[in-house]
Each structure stands twice: as C-alpha cells, then as structure tokens.
Amino acid sequence: MTTILKALVGSRAHGLHRDDSDWDWRGIYVQPTREILSMGHSARSIQWLEGKEDFTNYEIGHFLMLATKANPSVLELLRSPKTDLPEVYGRVWGKEIQDLLPYLYDPEQAFNAFNGYSLNQRKKLLDDKDGRKWKYALAYIRTLYCLIDLLISGEFSLEVTSEARRGVLSSIRDGKRSPGEILDLANDLTASAKQYLSTATNRQDLGRVNDFLLDVRRCFWDAA
C-alpha cells in the first residue's frame, strides 16, 4: 500500500487544542491494483493505528465513495491546515484529490450529511457521553460552520480562522455556554444553512471522480 495523503484533524487542526490534546491523523492510501484483482482478494478499506498519535487510513476507492456522499469526517481531510502530500510516479495524487472537492459533493447531499453528523453530536452532548459533553458541543457547532461555508463558497477550512467563530468555540470548549445557548445557536446556524442551500450552485461530477480513480488504478498496478 502507498499513502498518498496524510492530514492532521481534530482539535489541533481546528486551532482549538490544549497542551494535552491528542494528535489525530487521517490519510488516503492506494492498494495495488494487481492485488485487488487477484484471486482470493480480501478488500481492505480502512486501517487504524492507535497510539500516541492516532492514524486512520482510507483506501482511495472507499474514500472517494464516502466523499461522494459528503461524509463530513472524510471531506475534512481535503482541507486540513497540515497535510503531507508525497509525490508518487511523478504526480502529487493527494493534491489532485484536494482539487476534486467541487466535483465530489452535491449541495443537498452535503446539507443532509453535515446536518446529520451535527445532530449525532447534539445527542452526545445532551447525553454527556463519556463525561465530555463540551467536546461534542464543539463538533456540533463547528460542523454547522463548515456546512455554511461550503454552501456559500464551495470551500471550507478545517482550521478556525475567524476570530468571531474562534471566540464562540473557545467559550464552548471552556464550559462558558449552557446547553440551551448551544442549541439555540445551532438552530440559527441550521436555518442559515437551509437558506444558503436554496442558492447553492455546485454540481457533483461523478464521471470526473470515476475517471480519476481509474487513472489511479492504472498507475498503481504494482505499487509496493
């Protein structure tokens, strides 16, 4: 297997970490095409490495399938502030995947996927899962911010660069916002996202995404 993109995610990528925060990485790797087409092949789609620095690695075919469903946890790999993009066979494949973002998602699908993910974080917040409700509150609001940016401009940043947003998220992280305040803010952000969805113009291009994947499969026939 060959890793073609490795990206920092989590609080350190958002710029909202503390000194003791974990280092979380996600990546994209390519399994040799010869291996995929061989008899008795057992598909591997995700690899996990846990330790001081956690690393979740997606096989490119599985990654692109999830990305075309606008999976927020997958799309955020493409806009991390710290990304390793090695050159393989004379091409920087990870950068080419980053450039595919406009062709990967449909706005309505993105709204449903991001909103669904945020509601999952809301449930964990209200349940105070693992005694870390503020972690889930952060994810709840930050995901909605990213959705709004994506619907407005076709872009979003994993790093929180807006001072206003950073102030809001920092206050949530530090326990200075009540659950009620967080829910009210989330309702307002969701309503805004619905408005921006009505004017979003991005168009998914699955043909272009599939052509890229086929190009990868041809070039990585015997990848080590």
Residues 86, 75: one domain? yes
- Is 224 contained in some domain? no
* Residue 164 domain-assigned (yes or no): yes
Taking CA atoms, 36 is separated from 158, 189, 207, in Å, by: 33, 43, 22
In a domain, 69, yes or no: yes
pLDDT over threshold 90, residue 17? no
Q: Is there a single domain that holds both residue 92 and residue 145?
A: no
Q: Is residue 184 part of a domain?
A: yes
Tell me, yes or no, whether 57 and 127 share the same domain.
no
- Cα 9 to Cα 16: distance, rounded to the nearest angstrom: 11
With b for 16 or more beta-carbon neighbours within 10 A and e for fewer, the 46-63 pattern comes to eeeeeeeeebbbbbbbbb
Q: How far is residue 121's CA from residue 136's CA, in Å, rounded to a whole number? A: 5
> Is 84 a domain residue?
yes
Over residues 179-200, the pLDDT tens digits come to 999 999 999 999 999 999 999 9
Q: Contact at 8 Å (CB) between 58 and 74?
A: yes
- What pLDDT is stored for residue 49 in this prediction? 63
pTM metric for this prediction: 0.90
- Together in a domain, 10 and 94: yes
- The CATH number of the domain holding residue 215 is 3.30.460
Q: How confident is the model at residue 5 (pLDDT cuts 50, 70, 90)?
A: very high
pLDDT at 209: 98
Q: What is the pLDDT of residues 95-105, one digit of tens each?
A: 999 999 999 99
95 lies in the same domain as 115: no
Q: Is residue 116 part of a domain?
A: yes
Q: What is the CA radius of gyration of the chain?
A: 18
Kindly state the average pLDDT of the residues 191-218: 97
Whether 87 and 72 share a structural domain: yes
Tokens of 103: 């062709």
With cut-offs at 50, 70 and 90, classify the pLDDT of residue 222.
confident
3 state DSSP class of 67: helix
Residue 38's pLDDT is: 83
- Same domain? For 100 and 116 the reply is no
In DSSP terms, which residues pair with 2 in a beta bridge? 30
Which 8-state DSSP code applies to residue 15? T
**What pLDDT shows up at residue 91?**
96
| pLDDT at 80 (0 to 100) | 94
How far is CA 95 from its chain centroid? Answer: 15
- For residue 42, being part of any structural domain is answered with yes
In the chain, the number of structural domains is 2
% of the chain with per-residue pLDDT over 90 = 77
Q: Does 133 share its domain with 193?
A: yes
Q: Which residues contact 88 (CB under 8 A, 6 or more apart)?
A: 2, 4, 220, 223
pLDDT digits 0-9 by tens, 122-178: 999 999 888 889 999 999 999 999 999 999 999 999 999 999 999 999 999 999 999
Do 119 and 66 lie in one domain? The reply is: no
Pairing of strands 46-49, 23-30: unpaired
Residue 190 domain-assigned (yes or no) = yes
| 15 lies in the same domain as 48 | yes
| pLDDT bracket for residue 110 (50, 70, 90) | very high
- If asked whether residues 132 and 209 sit together in one domain, one would say no
pLDDT in tens, 50-95: 666 788 899 999 999 999 999 999 999 999 999 999 999 999 999 9
6 shares its domain with 100: yes
Q: Which domain holds residue 30?
A: 2-104+205-219
Confidence class for position 208, pLDDT limits 50, 70, 90: very high
